[in-house]
């Protein structure tokens, strides 16, 4: 099914209407459950050119965009920032304009600053699309989509009776912001958040959420526990106490998880700080869906690339 208005760029889930969000999830679900449709994707996109432009570190997102682009038959340029003229001070906008001049059609971009994506979108020619692969603390729309797909595969399409808890460093997390946008759009029954006061944003991010400071209370009876990485690289000194204290108060171990619904699933976007926000026994345990999230990431990115390349 097509999305109206067509998905020229995917910069955020914030203003993506529910039918568009659900179309992307339905498409990704079909792709994830069988390779049959992939041949028609290849027919449509063979030889199209996709660029991975990552100015921040990445393991899962970058690799899965590359695999997704290859599976739909596109040619992928993994732009090597460290060996590029960015090191000589060339701006991101100039880098983008040059690659656009070479005929690159779809840009997957990860940056530390949050307004850059819009600047690039404003400078994009007709026929050129952008997908945000993470901009600072603001958005990570494909992670939000793959998280929703994973929840849906376990809990069904109707989120209205679900209790979903996000735990940890929400302040620095673009994943949390995109998850919250999508959870609201999908009509989630109850959204809870829990973390140390210093790591909870004071703006509209948490509107409509039930905010807890004690994890033992927050986790009571929930269906989905979404753990977040403690983002020490984005943190000022002294924002939290010791890692041991953090683990004691906000870490997810097996005993704490038993307070959630017995069928609760546990997500984490990776990379995990094992022994800090999540214990090994939970990360590798039966309720963890963390590697399923990773697998879904490829399907979600294939669906997103399909839609954006179909506009361009």
- Binding residues vs ligand NCD (CB under 6 A): 60-61, 134, 140, 143, 174-175, 229, 231, 269-270
Question: Would you say 122 or 236 has its CB closer to ligand NCD?
Answer: 236
Name the nearest CA neighbour of 215 among 232, 233, 196, 231.
196
- In the complex, the smallest distance separating the C-beta of residue 251 from ligand NCD, rounded to whole angstroms, is 15
- In the complex, the smallest distance separating the C-beta of residue 146 from ligand NCD, rounded to whole angstroms, is 9
CA 24 to chain centre: 14
- In the complex, the smallest distance separating the C-beta of residue 230 from ligand NCD, rounded to whole angstroms, is 8
* Edge-to-edge order in the sheet of strand 129-135: 75-79, 49-54, 106-111, 129-135
Which residue's beta carbon is nearest to the bound ligand NCD? 229
C-alpha to C-alpha distance for 144 and 37, rounded to whole angstroms = 23
Helix (H) / strand (E) containing 265:
strand 265-267
Question: Would you say 3 or 69 has its CB closer to ligand NCD?
Answer: 69
- In the complex, the smallest distance separating the C-beta of residue 160 from ligand NCD, rounded to whole angstroms, is 27
Q: Which two tokens stand for residue 7?
A: 């998905």
- In the complex, the smallest distance separating the C-beta of residue 60 from ligand NCD, rounded to whole angstroms, is 5
Question: Would you say 71 or 174 has its CB closer to ligand NCD?
Answer: 174
CA 283 to chain centre: 18
- In the complex, the smallest distance separating the C-beta of residue 135 from ligand NCD, rounded to whole angstroms, is 9
Count of helix runs (H) and strand runs (E) in the chain: 12, 9
Contacts of 252 (CB under 8 A, 6+ apart): 167, 215, 225, 227, 266, 277, 278, 279, 282
Query: Which residues is 109 bridged to in the sheet?
Result: 53, 132
Question: Would you say 52 or 61 has its CB closer to ligand NCD?
Answer: 61
5, HSE (Cβ side, Cα atoms, 13 Å): 4
Question: Would you say 42 or 60 has its CB closer to ligand NCD?
Answer: 60
Question: Would you say 2 or 59 has its CB closer to ligand NCD?
Answer: 59
Please provide the size of the chain in residues: 312
């Amino acid at each position: 099914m097509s999305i109206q208005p067509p998905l020229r760029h995917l910069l955020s889930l914030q203003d993506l209407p529910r039918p568009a969000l659900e179309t992307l999830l339905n498409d990704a679900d079909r792709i994830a459950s069988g390779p049959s449709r992939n041949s028609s994707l290849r027919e449509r996109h063979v030889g199209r050119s996709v660029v991975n432009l990552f100015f921040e570190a990445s393991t899962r997102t970058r690799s899965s965009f590359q695999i997704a682009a290859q599976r739909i038959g596109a040619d992928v340029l993994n732009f090597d920032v460290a060996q590029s003229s960015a090191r000589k001070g060339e701006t991101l906008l100039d880098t983008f304009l040059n690659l656009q001049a070479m005929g690159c059609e779809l840009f997957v971009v990860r940056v530390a600053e949050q307004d850059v994506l819009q600047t690039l979108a404003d400078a994009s020619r007709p026929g050129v699309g952008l997908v945000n692969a993470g901009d600072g603390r603001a958005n990570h729309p494909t992670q939000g989509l793959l998280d929703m797909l994973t929840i849906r595969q376990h809990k069904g399409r109707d989120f209205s009776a679900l209790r979903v808890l996000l735990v940890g460093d929400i302040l620095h997390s673009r994943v949390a912001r995109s998850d919250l946008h999508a959870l609201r759009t999908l009509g989630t029954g109850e959204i809870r958040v829990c973390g140390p006061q210093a790591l909870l944003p004071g703006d509209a991010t948490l509107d409509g959420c039930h905010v807890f400071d004690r994890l033992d209370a927050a986790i009571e009876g929930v269906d989905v526990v979404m753990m977040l990485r403690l983002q020490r690289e984005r943190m000022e000194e002294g924002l939290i106490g010791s890692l041991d204290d953090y683990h004691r108060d906000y870490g997810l171990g097996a005993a704490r998880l038993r307070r959630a619904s017995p069928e609760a699933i546990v997500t984490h976007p990776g990379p995990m700080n094992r022994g800090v926000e999540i214990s090994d026994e939970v990360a590798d345990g039966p309720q963890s869906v963390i590697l399923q999230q990773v697998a879904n990431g490829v399907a979600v990115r294939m669906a997103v690339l399909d839609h954006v390349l179909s506009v361009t």
